[in-house]
Structure 1
Amino acid sequence: MRKWRRDRAFCTDESGAVGRRTAAGLGAVLALAAAVIAPFEGRELRAYRDIVGVWTICDGDTQGVRPGQVATPAECDSRLAARVAQFEREIRPCLPAGLPAETRAAFVSAAYNIGSGAFCSSSMARRARAGDLRGACEALRLWNKAGGQVVRGLVRRREAERALCLSGL
Structure 2
Amino acid sequence: MAKSRYLAGGAAGAALLAFATAYTSHWEGRRYVAYRDVGNVLTVCDGHTGSDIIPGKRYTDAECDAILQKDLIAHEQRMLACAPVLYNVPDDTYVSINDWAFNVGTGAACKSTLIRKVKAGDLRGACMELSKWVYVKGRVIRGLTVRRVQGDAVNLSERALCLRGLK
1:164 aligns with 2:161: yes
Larger Rg belongs to: 1
Contact 2:101/2:109 (8 A) holds in 1: yes
1:128 aligns with 2:125: no
Q: 1:60 aligns with which of 43, 47, 60?
A: 47
Moved >4 Å (runs of 4+): none
Q: How many residues align?
A: 155
The amino acid that maps onto 2:160 is A
Output the aligned Cα RMSD.
2.2
Contact 2:32/2:45 (8 A) holds in 1: yes
Q: Which residue of 2 aligns with 1:87?
A: 75
For residues 98-137 of structure 1, give each alpha carbon's deviation from its aligned partner in whole angstroms, at most 9, with x where no partner exists: 1111111111101110101111111111000000000001
Percent of aligned pairs sharing the same letter? 41
Unaligned 5+ segments in structure 1 are 1-11
Unaligned 5+ segments in structure 2 are 150-156
Aligned partner of residue 66 in structure 1, secondary structure? coil
Q: 1:105 aligns with which of 95, 102, 107?
A: 95
Q: 2:25 aligns with which of 15, 35, 38?
A: 38
Moved more, 33-42 or 52-61: 33-42
Q: Which residue of 1 aligns with 2:63?
A: 75
- After TM superposition, the score normalised by the length of structure 1 is 0.83
